[in-house]
Amino acid sequence: MIKSPFVRNSRNPRQHERRDPRVPSPLTRAHLKRLLQLVQLSFAREWHPGTGGNFSVRDPLGSVWVSASGMHKGALGLRDFLAVSLENAQPLEPCYRKPSDETALHCAIYRRDPSARAVLHVHTPHTVAFLRKPLALSSNEMLKVFGLKTHDATIAIPVRDNDQDMQRLGQDIGPDLDMQLKVLVLAGHGVYAWGKDPDEAMYRIEALEYLCQLQLLNPSS
């Protein structure tokens, strides 16, 4: 029988929290449970065609819990998250399953932005259709979701070329990438967003999708 870290932690979570990064902390468990609710929401919005999308939560001890590769997002559960090293994106213990192919990019985001506790990646259609290169969006109430104090401003959404080499993409999360907006679009692919918890990351995905939908509806705006 395969041991689950979620079962292993059940008797005395605080004891494990202090010494074993392969066991999710209570905060990580709470974030993962909330994340699963948000995944159901985004799945219902059809943002995960095929097995598209992946998700992660960073544990206070330094490990990262990443969704398993090849999972249908309508069936994702707690045990479908695997612990990997923040530093090298490799699994912390042998497992018959594989973490998401895009794990290296998740870990690169956490290393670059220590405030990030959750990273969400979805294939939002309006964002993918509209954002093919770095682009400015301005004067809309939704800009405040990206941390601005006013709607009367302009933000430049970072866009990178898509790449199947996630190690190379992770290296792109370097000093030249503007991390302020906590969002990154891969052209012709999807969007990554992060935040202090899963909800904050999802707000950014929703706001960006809305802004891109508006631009497609009214290109002159």
Residues within the interface to Zn ion (CB under 5 A): 190
State the minimum distance, in angstroms, from the CB of residue 100 to Zn ion.
Answer: 9
Where do we find the tokens 């090298």? 88
Residue number, 170 or 190, with CB nearest to Zn ion: 190
Q: Both tokens of residue 20?
A: 């074993």
State the minimum distance, in angstroms, from the CB of residue 185 to Zn ion.
Answer: 11
Where do we find the tokens 């065609």? 49
- Cα separation, 185 vs 92, whole angstroms: 28
Residue number, 120 or 145, with CB nearest to Zn ion: 120
C-alpha 42, offset from chain centre:
12
Residue number closest to Zn ion, CB atom: 190
Strand-pair partners of 67 = 81
State the minimum distance, in angstroms, from the CB of residue 78 to Zn ion.
Answer: 22
DSSP H helices in 51-134: 103-112, 125-130
State the minimum distance, in angstroms, from the CB of residue 38 to Zn ion.
Answer: 16
Residue number, 49 or 147, with CB nearest to Zn ion: 49
Residue number, 191 or 211, with CB nearest to Zn ion: 191
Closest to 119 in 3D by CA, of 149, 95, 139, 99: 99
